[in-house]
Structure 1
Amino acid sequence: MNENSPPQPNSVERVQRNMLAALERRLLNFLCRQLPPWVTPDTLTGFGMAGSLAIFAGYVGSNVSPAWLWLTLAGFVIQWFGDSLDGSLARYRHIERPSYGYFVDHSCDGLTTLLILGGMGLSPYVRLDVALIALAGYLLLSVHAFLYARVGGQLKLTFLAAGPTELRFVLIGLTAAMMLLGASPGLFGKVSGFDLFVGTIGSILILLFVVHTMGTARDLAKVDRRP
């Protein structure tokens, strides 16, 4: 491999310093010990994607009845179980496939994000344009993480001490609030409190992308400074 070749996925260090990381790791290790042999990482990946589809269906179905949001809540649990355990199980059983796992896992993450925020934008609770702002912010931050894995050898999974698990808790709380408060626009006319919340989160994600991109570019300029 020459000096211009990108680092291989198995050489990329995963950086995860979110608030729940240690507790979640203990839980995942326990679950890995309980899973029967017929459950494979690919099985769990498929299970996680089924959860993502359930989230989407629940949000879209809430146009008919708020009771559909129970499906969304169940989908978040299913999606966490499959998405968090597939790589953990592969490492626990020492059957990692670094390139395949890296590619499939993050491809599924992108599709899951589309299903979650697209479904939310098609629900009666959040405007589609606001949901797309949040989608753009999340995908931009993902782009930064993947680019930094190439130039810095680290895959950063945590921003502002929060990672995917903390974000799921936020979305679960938001969905529960939808069930309790309903789809009324409230005090902001056509823009609901849910719109403001989701739009603010999306704006923060975009701002984080800009700040981290500028900081990384500044650091790389020092390293690559020409003589």
Structure 2
Amino acid sequence: MAEKQHFKGDQKVPLRSPLAAGERRIIQYLVPRLPGWIEGYQLTLTTILWSAGVLAAGYLARRNLNWLWLASAMLFMQWFTDSLDGALGKYRDFGIPKWGYYMDHLLDYLFMAAALGGYALLFDGRDRTLWLVMIAVFGAFMVNSFLSFAATGEFKITFLGTGPTESRLALIILNTLIIIFGTGFVQVALPYAPYVLGSAFIIVVYSTQRHIWQLDMEDKRRRGQGRKDV
């Protein structure tokens, strides 16, 4: 009988990004101090609230850009709960890793789509279409992570030195700049964004497939050597 493989979806490859080390220290400090009545799954499900909030903020910002402060607050709260949900389950050894893997990343996609969809509501015409295109591009990065995990057993969520925390921070900075300077500079830069992100995605896919190819070739050589030894 084959040995049952241990689930590794809750064991991400260590983050390699500018904010990763500081983020780990914050999580290690906060997790033991969370109230006992808070469960990891509750933190996971709060992303539904943050998604609704960030989408509503984008819609309301059409009349008053100061509503983007609410969008930034939703980005911060989603970082807070998303960073702590799995860590809390591991710390208490009372987590539900399979459900957590599924729901956490499904809701991560929902929040990403809501955050970018909020910008789509703020802008009109071609700019709205470009924001919707970027939902597909960011979704492609997530698909790459899941397919790579299925092929290698390594779950990686940082790309080209950038992880989810850096992405959230970038959107908070963008919100602040829009509130101060208006949307004009975004309309100038936005047409180039899909090309930049698309190029980054091509680089990530090439690197990922090359790594998987090397793993397959090593396995193929081992199998060939094993047949020779028989």
Fold equivalence (TM over 0.5)? yes
Post-superposition offset of 1:42: 1.8
Structure 1 residues not aligned, in runs of 5+: none
| Greater Cα shift, 34-43 or 193-202 | 193-202
Over the aligned positions, Cα root-mean-square deviation in angstroms equals 2.6
CA distance in structure 2 between the partners assigned to 1:210 and 1:94 by the alignment: 35
**Residue 24 (structure 2) aligns with:** 25
**Residues 54-103 of structure 1, C-alpha deviations (whole Å, 9 max, x = no match):** 11111121112112111101111111111111111111111121211111
How do 1:7-18 residues align onto structure 2 when only pairs under 5 Å count? 8-10=6-8, 13-15=11-13, 16-18=15-17
CA distance in structure 1 between the partners assigned to 2:113 and 2:183 by the alignment: 22
Pair 1:170-2:170 in alignment = yes
**Residue 134 (structure 1) aligns with:** 134
Post-superposition offset of 1:223: 4.0
Q: Which has the higher helix share?
A: 2
How do 1:68-83 residues align onto structure 2 when only pairs under 5 Å count? 68-83=67-82
User: Structure 1 residues 201 and 173, CA, compared in 2 at 3 Å: closer, same or farther?
Assistant: farther
Pair 1:115-2:110 in alignment = no
Structure 2 residues not aligned, in runs of 5+: 225-230
- Aligned 8 A contact 1:121 1:132 in 2: yes
CA distance in structure 1 between the partners assigned to 2:202 and 2:121 by the alignment: 25
User: Structure 1 residues 13 and 80, CA, compared in 2 at 3 Å: closer, same or farther?
Assistant: closer
- Aligned 8 A contact 1:121 1:127 in 2: yes
Query: What is the TM-score normalised by the length of structure 1?
Result: 0.85
- Aligned 8 A contact 1:18 1:162 in 2: yes
CA distance in structure 2 between the partners assigned to 1:69 and 1:33 by the alignment: 32
User: Structure 1 residues 33 and 220, CA, compared in 2 at 3 Å: closer, same or farther?
Assistant: closer
CA distance in structure 1 between the partners assigned to 2:150 and 2:177 by the alignment: 39
Count of residue pairs the alignment pairs up: 220
User: Structure 1 residues 8 and 78, CA, compared in 2 at 3 Å: closer, same or farther?
Assistant: same
Larger Rg: 2
User: Structure 1 residues 56 and 12, CA, compared in 2 at 3 Å: closer, same or farther?
Assistant: closer
Pair 1:211-2:199 in alignment = no
Post-superposition offset of 1:8: 4.9
**Residues 3-35 of structure 1, C-alpha deviations (whole Å, 9 max, x = no match):** 9x9x65337741122221121111112111221
CA distance in structure 2 between the partners assigned to 1:8 and 1:135 by the alignment: 33
Post-superposition offset of 1:47: 2.4
Pair 1:104-2:103 in alignment = yes
Counterpart of 1:132 in 2: which secondary structure?
Answer: helix
User: Structure 1 residues 198 and 218, CA, compared in 2 at 3 Å: closer, same or farther?
Assistant: same
Post-superposition offset of 1:209: 4.0
CA distance in structure 2 between the partners assigned to 1:144 and 1:155 by the alignment: 10
Could you tell me which amino acid in structure 2 is paired with residue 44 of structure 1?
L
**Residues 178-224 of structure 1, C-alpha deviations (whole Å, 9 max, x = no match):** 1112123x6xxxx8134146435532443234323442453255246
| Greater Cα shift, 124-133 or 135-144 | 124-133
CA distance in structure 1 between the partners assigned to 2:119 and 2:192 by the alignment: 13
User: Structure 1 residues 197 and 59, CA, compared in 2 at 3 Å: closer, same or farther?
Assistant: farther
Post-superposition offset of 1:161: 1.4
User: Structure 1 residues 217 and 87, CA, compared in 2 at 3 Å: closer, same or farther?
Assistant: closer
Pair 1:199-2:197 in alignment = no
Pair 1:63-2:58 in alignment = no
Pair 1:159-2:154 in alignment = no
Could you tell me which amino acid in structure 2 is paired with residue 161 of structure 1?
G
- Aligned 8 A contact 2:12 2:154 in 1: yes
Could you tell me which amino acid in structure 2 is paired with residue 10 of structure 1?
K
| Greater Cα shift, 133-142 or 214-223 | 214-223
**4+ residue segments displaced more than 6 Å:** none
